[in-house]
Structure 1
Amino acid sequence: MHHELALINTIAAALGLALVLGFVAARLRLPALVGYLAAGIVIGPFTPGFVADAALAAQLAEIGVMLLMFGVGLHFSLDDLLQVKRVAVPGAVVQMAAATAMGAAMASAWGWDLGAALVFGISLSVASTVVLLKALEAKGAVDTVNGRIAVGWLVVEDLAMVLVLVLLPALAPMLRGGGGAGIDAELWLTLARTLLAVAAFVALMLVLGRRLFPWLLWQVARTGSRELFTLCVVAAAVTIAFGSARLFGVSFALGAFFAGMVLRESEFSHRAAEESLPLRDAFAVLFFVSVGMLFDPRVMVERPLQVLAVVAVIVVGKSLAAGALVLLLRYPLNTALTVSASLAQIGEFSFILAALGVSLQLLPPEGQSLIVAGALISIALNPLTFSCTSPFERWILARSALARRLAQRDDPLAELPAHTEARYLARQVVLVGHGRVGRRIALALREAGTACVVVDANRERVEELRAQGLPAVSGDAAEPAVLIQAHIAQAALLLIAVPDALGVRRMIETARTLNPQVQVAVRSHNADEANRLAAEGGARVFLGEEELAQSMLRHALATMQAIPTMTRPRGG
């Protein structure tokens, strides 16, 4: 291969083969990620035929890591995490500890040292946010309470992994087997310097970045050039990641993550996410291809039992631990099964950590191959795992009294308290959803002195409302039992403030069955769906764009009427 063509050959081979194998994987109803990894295996040094330049692929992968982590930061919402913090934070921490212990114990049984076992165990403990979101989107479950819990769980794992990536280089000398008081003192000094550098970087980003970055984006946006705006976003992500590594000694991944978090604070965050997505996706493909190039297929033949053990920890051990934790936290069986299926795979962070472990001489190369093999198999099995949750739930509910009790948890938030005032139980408004729209409606009703019972799938929101002395019920309003608990049979009005078209139909059917006289008002973002709901459900539907246009028109007419008639200029 001519040196001057190495970059072109590597990119062309990686993207071309990734397209073909990704398409094949999609046709087989597998995640396209499996095809990208397979493309890397085909052009890697461990298979015959064309071999791409591994060094160039690794550098392209670094850009892929930056843009991947930039995307994670861009979509990271502290508010979303706080909504499910009571299950996601303790669940993710304990589950990661349990999975790390399982993986490390298995590696120790193979004769690996402490550093290798620890890196290996942590690599198996964290699931792929990319794979999870694809699976939830396929089921239409991203905005459900179970979907939010699963995503929040993985956000906590991502944050924990960012911390691991920062601390691992400082801990590497000790994990490689160094000992002695002098080394311990040096280690603590190194850790302190690392944490101080990270703290300085985070403080700089939160204080200066929040002001400088949005201002810069605004200046570029004023030019009206889409190309310059996209270039500004990508340049900021890569520059911040590179600068953080050079100036503060933190990883590219952490720098890019905080670049995304800072950009999220800007009013241009949605536009930045949309316009940088194609480039992020392209380099993410190169990242997964480069990971596939590190995989030695001989591990499947030479170490089949070890591969099976790795897959068992990922798909079975980690899922059982997560499901048990969700049940212990008093969430229903359905939530436990969804979270278990969500965690039955590993992905991008596992690859990043494995590559770092190898570069620090902590993880042996066969460990990286075992991790990639486990990822390939678990990602391929994940759609099947998700599709089996509902049949398995029905099967176990039919055969186990314990499962039926777990599915019908005695949740104190699922019914109104016995001391609820009588005015909330007759001719009241039942408000479904206490998000950005519902919160404003509830506040206005309260100020008007109108009795209102809130129904929300988020337990934390319900607890906050009850702490304020307001009646609220936790659960999915599409389930008849939830609306019954909100006393829909005596309600005067049902307000549905959640953008969930499928669930809305069931809510209206339940309300009409129990209370034929109830009035219904629905929020919608789709004109066709709004017309169908109005025709079939007899509901008053508020279409977002139409209501916005009407409000702006009323303001425009009022403004024009308030302006005095101008006299005609002279000489006109």
Structure 2
Amino acid sequence: MHELPILLNITIALVAAFIGGLAVRKIGLPPIVGYLLAGIVIGPFTPGFIGDIATIQELAELGVIFLMLGVGLHFSFDDLLKVRDIAIPGALLQMILATLAGFGLSRFWGWSVPAGIVLGLAVSVASTVVLLRGLMDNSLLNTPHGQAAVGWLVMEDILSVMILVFMPVFSGHGEFNWTVIGTTLLKIAAFGIVMFVLGKKFIPWLLERIAHTRSRELFLLAVLAITLGTALGSAKLFGISLALGAFVAGAIISQSHLSHQVGADINSFKDAFAVLFFVSVGMLVNPVFLWQNLGLVVALSLLIILGKLIITLFLGTLFPHPAQTFIVIAIGLSQIGEFSFILGQEGVLLNYLSADQYSLILAGSIISIALNPFMYRLVPLLNQWLRNVPFLWKRLDRHDVRPILPESGIKDHVVIIGYGQVGCHLVDVLEMLHVPQLVIETEAAQIEALNKRGIPSLFGDAANSEVIKFARLETAALLVITIPDESSTALIVTSAKDINPNLRVIARASSMEGINTLTERGANHIVHPELEGGLEILSHTLLELNFPLREVHQYTEAIRHDRYNTTINTPEEFNTLQDMLTFIDAIDITWTKIPAESPLIGQSLSEANIRAHTGASIVALIRDGHITANPKSSTIFEIADRIGLIGDHDNVEAALQLIRGTPKVIETGDETPFIAPSPDTQIP
């Protein structure tokens, strides 16, 4: 039998990673923790099967390349620029302070200066994967706080890439060789010119040509060739790391409209080789060393989790932004991950770190990643604790935008929570109708926009602050909550009902569970955008199939009742709804085209006298694309005229018979047959 060492190592590594990832996921931890533990199990420091570190690490290089490609694909200068005032200086200062803290701790332990610097840099960088997962799991990704955290991580990614580039330059035990530094900068500049001038034009053009072949295999091969070719070329021709080459390739591809397809196609490769990378990292961990140095592990873990959290909150006192933003960022950054592994691995290769020192970094990473999902539960507790320290809260919860506060005597106004796409449209309409309104918004830029329009506003998070108490809900006519986060909406509804139990509340839900929750909290009207969008598509579909408007309306309302049935609590309320539907059903508005054989052709409205004959009234006429409301009695009917009829069901059916003859009757099995309209009946 042939020896297959590479295949054997890949198989064992992936099986171990699968078992480890599945096990930790069952207890609510990120799979990355399981991958690292799997590496420890098959590593040389534990009994049982020992994987070939050299083989797996060589394969793990592909993991680094694809990880950096993924970072580049999701890299966005636009995202960074939106929060540049907080992300750029904040990330820079945080990395400096965290690096100094890590360096200081290493000096206390007696480490060398290069080892201490690498430790500090590894501690300063958070995992993008873990941060995004945490924000998504806690419905924070699309909030201003989550966007600021993502921008912060983008800046950290940029700085980390630059650190990886310059680490080999200082391999002479920290001595500054300006010739080497100058040469490195020239190589980076040359690589940047080649990639962002020539590559920016060639790579998207090539992907476009390959996409036109309609071959999924060729497109995938093109992406792999571009990624690996760029990474290897950057290393061999310019002396730059594989990681930087892959990152630049991803950043260039991200500017193509095909970037999403590239991301989808490459995702499986990235995940598979990234798993091997994490397993290879775990194989370097020596559990015996960690147990013998448990105090060092605990100290480093506390620095990563609590130290970085305190540093970030301290920086919050220097920037004019809401406290909630820095609380979310601080929680999200209280861990280290893939960039820390790469930095530590580079430190080992350059003999800055020993294998045992690297194991210590990995242990801190495993612990911080494992605890990070639970850290988000501290957000409201931390918020409340900081409020109890007035001096600190005053320094932390600041912003440079002064909203236009509502007048003390404001009443019968509409309070709108959220000035996003939905809230913006609502504000526009209410302003046009001169309805008094007050907007509560968490984003400073939106408050500035409201200030320019002269619309009263309050800055803050209505779900997690006292701001809602200043919205004059006692005298408000209506509260409309447009934000997509259901948990925040539920908190707002509860607070609003506590202030004014009689206040009418319209809330937005994103799931059927959310509808139940908001109903229990006291929301009077709940809108599920996906459900309403589906009903709108359904309505247009049935209308295009020439079903009567009355039947379409009745069917969609029945679906609404089934989905929103939590809002119908008593038999009396349900009967009232049915009475309303019956009333609507009694009025039938139908548009029909006058056929060439119609007896009305050449007659005027007064001569046809449709109302006297049928009881239905003609309320509009469309001719040559122009609509005439309440046409004059002297109007002469012409071929292809479209007329709008209004009346009850029998009146309209009689009018249709008069206009175009007896319609076809379809037996439905019910006592009352369903009368189908002719094909030319249309409802605009």
Scaled by the length of structure 2, the TM-score of the pair is: 0.68
Partner of 1:78: 77
**Which residue of 436, 455, 460 maps to 1:475?**
460
Q: Is the Cα contact below 8 Å between 1:37 and 1:376 reproduced in 2?
A: yes
Structure-2 residue corresponding to 1:137: 136
Within 5 A, what are the aligned runs for 1:17-416? 17-173=16-172, 176=173, 178=175, 187-391=177-381, 393-394=383-384, 396=385, 401-402=388-389, 406=393, 411=398, 416=403
Q: Out of 285-294 and 371-380, give the one that drifted further.
A: 371-380
Aligned pair in 2 of structure 1 residues 215, 546: CA closer, same or farther (>3 Å)? farther
Work out whether residues 416 and 485 of structure 1, in 8 Å CA contact, stay in contact via their aligned partners in 2: no
Q: Give the Å deviation of 1:537.
A: 4.1
TM-score, scaled to structure 1: 0.80
* Residue aligning to 1:570: none
Counterpart mapping for 1:513-552 below 5 A: 537-538=524-525, 543=530
In the alignment, is residue 457 of structure 1 matched against residue 447 of structure 2?
no
Match of 1:417 in 2: 404
More moved, 157-166 vs 293-302:
293-302
Q: Shift of residue 375 of structure 1?
A: 1.2
Deviations 1:387-431 (A, max 9, x none): 34444555x36xx7415971897646686336x899xx7888866
RMSD of aligned C-alpha atoms?
4.1
Cα offset for 1:19?
A: 0.6
Instruction: Report the alpha carbon displacement of residue 349 of structure 1 after superposing the two structures with TM.
Output: 0.7
- State the AA in 1 paired with 2:71: V
Deviations 1:463-510 (A, max 9, x none): 466478776543235468556666778888877664334445666777
Q: 1:58 to 1:435 in 2, by over 3 A?
A: farther
Contact 1:488–1:515 under 8 Å retained in 2: no
Shifted more, 57-66 versus 131-140: the winner is 131-140
Q: Is the CA contact 2:463–2:492 (under 8 Å) kept in the aligned structure 1?
A: yes
Determine the C-alpha separation between the residues in 1 that align with 2:354 and 2:99.
Answer: 17
Runs of at least 5 residues in structure 2 that lack an aligned partner in the other structure? 546-623, 626-639, 641-684
Greater relative contact order structure (CA < 8 Å, 6+ sep): 1
Q: 1:472 to 1:293 in 2, by over 3 A?
A: same
> Distance between the aligned counterparts of 1:442 and 1:73, measured in 2?
38
| Kept after mapping to 1: 8 A contact 2:316/2:396 | no
Task: Name the CA shift for 1:449/1:403 in 2 (closer, same or farther; >3 Å).
Answer: closer
User: Which is worse superposed, 383-392 or 338-347?
Assistant: 383-392
Distance 1:447 1:192 in 2: 62
Using the aligned pairs only, state the percent identity. Answer: 40
Distance 1:78 1:514, change over 3 A: farther
Deviations 1:199-222 (A, max 9, x none): 333344333344333333333333
Q: Which residue of 1 aligns with 2:556?
A: none
User: Is the CA contact (8 Å cut-off) linking 2:321 and 2:399 kept in structure 1?
Assistant: no
- Is the Cα–Cα contact under 8 Å of residues 104 and 121 in structure 1 kept in the other structure? yes
The 2-side partners of 1:210 and 1:549 are apart by 40
Counterpart secondary structure, 1:372: helix
Letter in 2 for 1:211: K
Paired residue type of 1:105: G
Contact 2:66/2:246 (CA < 8 Å) preserved in 1? yes
**SS of equivalent to 2:50:** coil
Distance in structure 1 (CA, Å) of the matches to 2:235 and 2:487:
47
Question: 1: CA distance between counterparts of 2:372 and 2:420?
Answer: 31
Greater shift, 497-506 or 318-327, is seen at: 497-506
Structure 1 residues 119 and 439, CA gap change in structure 2 (3 angstroms): farther
Give the equivalent residue in structure 1 for 2:635: none
- Per residue, is there more helix in 1 or in 2? 1
Q: State the alpha-carbon separation in 2 of the partners of residues 509 and 540 from structure 1.
A: 17
Q: For residues 346 and 314 of structure 2, what CA distance do their matches in structure 1 show?
A: 31
Q: Give the Å deviation of 1:352.
A: 0.3
Whichever of the two has the greater Rg, that structure is 2
**How far, CA to CA, are the matches of 1:167 and 1:98 in structure 2?**
20
Q: Give 5+ residue unaligned stretches, structure 1.
A: 179-183, 566-572
Deviations along 1:426-468, whole A, 9 cap, x unmatched?
8888665555676788789999999986543222443466478
Which residue of the partner structure matches residue 568 of structure 1?
none
Q: How far apart are residue 381 of structure 1 and its match? A: 2.4
Question: Could you tell me which residue of structure 2 aligns to residue 569 of structure 1?
Answer: none
Q: Deviations over 1:149-199 (max 9, x none)?
A: 3332222222111110111111222xx154xxxxx5xx2222122223223
Q: Report if aligned partners of 2:506, 2:523 keep a CA contact under 8 Å in 1.
A: no
C-alpha distance in structure 1 between counterparts of 2:307 and 2:152, whole Å? 17
Measured after TM superposition, the shift of residue 62 of structure 1 is: 1.0
Q: Is the 8 A contact 1:333 1:407 kept in 2?
A: no
> Matched residues in 2 for 1:517 and 1:350: separation?
52
Other-structure match for 2:582? none
Asked whether the 8 Å contact 2:404–2:454 carries over to 1, the reply is no
Quick one: which amino acid aligns to residue 320 of structure 1?
Answer: I
Deviations 1:372-397 (A, max 9, x none): 12112222222333334444555x36
Query: Which deviations, in whole Å up to 9, do the C-alpha atoms of 1:520-553 show, x marking residues without a partner?
Result: 696x877997999999643676558559969999
Matches of 1:551 and 1:214, distance apart in 2: 41
Q: Say which SS state the counterpart of residue 369 (structure 1) adopts.
A: helix
Q: Distance in 2 between matches of 1:39 and 1:111?
A: 31
Q: Distance in 1 between matches of 2:538 and 2:434?
A: 27
Shift of 1:350: 0.8
Shift of 1:103: 1.4
Q: Secondary structure at the match of 1:30?
A: coil
Please state whether the residue corresponding to 2:304 is helix, strand or coil: helix
CA distance in 2, matches of 1:195, 1:137: 38
Cα-to-partner distance string for 1:106-131 (whole Å, 9 max, x where unaligned) = 22233333222211211111111112
Report the residue type matching 2:442 in the other structure. A
| CA–CA separation in structure 2 for the residues paired with 1:66 and 1:446 | 53
> Are the structure 2 counterparts of residues 309 and 518 from structure 1 closer, same or farther at C-alpha, using a change threshold of 3 Å?
closer
Provide the C-alpha distance between the structure 1 equivalents of 2:102 and 2:92, rounded to a whole number of angstroms. 15
State which drifts further: 333-342 or 293-302: 333-342
Alpha-carbon distance change, 251 to 496 in structure 1, aligned in 2, over 3 angstroms: farther
